[in-house]
Structure 1
């Protein structure tokens, strides 16, 4: 099994995605390590906890190693207490467009006003339908990575 994540990120230019959202989940996450070579994230998504390790992205920023495992919410809460400063909170909406699912994150707190859509692909050149609410592509722009938003929030740009 491959642990490569192929993902593209976009800004969102309207709230029209909410109309077709199939899920809405609150996420709280922090980073034990924000080194671009290897980030270690702890997340509480709804009533589940996760720990994730991500490697450095390729030149385009579309592909990188990712390993994730589920942990208890108690463990995740305890680990978030150990995280670097800058805990992120967001509401994630899942929107199915054609054969793909867009994950649309509305950030809260110090990142309020930022809305990013992500789509995971099977290969870098895979075709996908772009809904009208999808804006500028920001794949590979590190300032939009969650690990960087935890250090330099959107409201400080």
Structure 2
């Protein structure tokens, strides 16, 4: 139940040509406390409830628990979420033995594209595709919970970028 992942900005849309799947995701947060984030997500036609713990010092790992729920349950729970619903399209791209999940954000976060890769251990090697840009692992402003309350389109107005 420990998630180990690295996050990167994406420097081109070439990943779309390599994607084997794309899914719309709508998610909200019932709780955005960094010690125990609780998220509800519509992932296509599937509902998912997720609890995440605090990130490690380097931001590479944290506790994660997920439970699939019915679509209608997720839709109902979205009505009780804190302000700031995230809407994005997730592209899945296989690169050798790994799958990158590339999120193209819509709404207040339009223009932001983030790629994530889940690893078995923190020092696991993986191939970096050409469209992968700057690493942002551990930078809290790129967490979905933060994007829901301080969206990408406000960063130019916020001096605490």
Q: Same fold (TM over 0.5)?
A: yes
Pairing 1:43–2:41 present = yes
Q: Distance in 2 between matches of 1:63 and 1:109?
A: 28
Unmatched 5+ stretches in structure 2 = 156-161
Q: How does 1:25-44 map to 2 (within 5 A)?
A: 25-44=23-42
Distance in 2 (alpha carbons) for counterparts of 1:108 and 1:84: 18
How far residue 73 of structure 1 moved from its aligned partner, in angstroms, is: 0.7
Deviation at 1:41, TM superposition (A): 0.3
Find the counterpart in structure 2 of residue 105 from structure 1. 103
Deviant stretches of 4+, over 3 Å: none
Are 2:75 and 1:70 equivalent residues in the alignment?
no
For the residue of structure 1 that corresponds to 2:32, the secondary structure is strand
TM-score (norm 2): 0.96
Aligned to 2:17: 19
Shift of 1:13: 0.3
Q: How does 1:71-150 map to 2 (within 5 A)?
A: 71-150=69-148
Q: Partners in 1 of 2:11 and 2:79 — Cα distance? A: 34
Distance in 2 (CA, whole Å) between partners of 1:110 and 1:79 is 21
Whole-angstrom CA distance in 2 between matches of 1:17 and 1:99: 16
Which ranges in structure 1 are unaligned for 5 or more consecutive residues? none
Shift of 1:142: 0.1
Calculate the aligned-residue CA RMSD, in Å.
Answer: 0.3
Equivalent residue pairs, number: 155
Could you list the per-position Cα deviations for residues 81-128 of structure 1 after superposition, in whole angstroms to 9, with x for gaps in the alignment?
000000000000000001000000000000000000000000000000
**Scaled by the length of structure 1, what TM-score is found?**
0.98
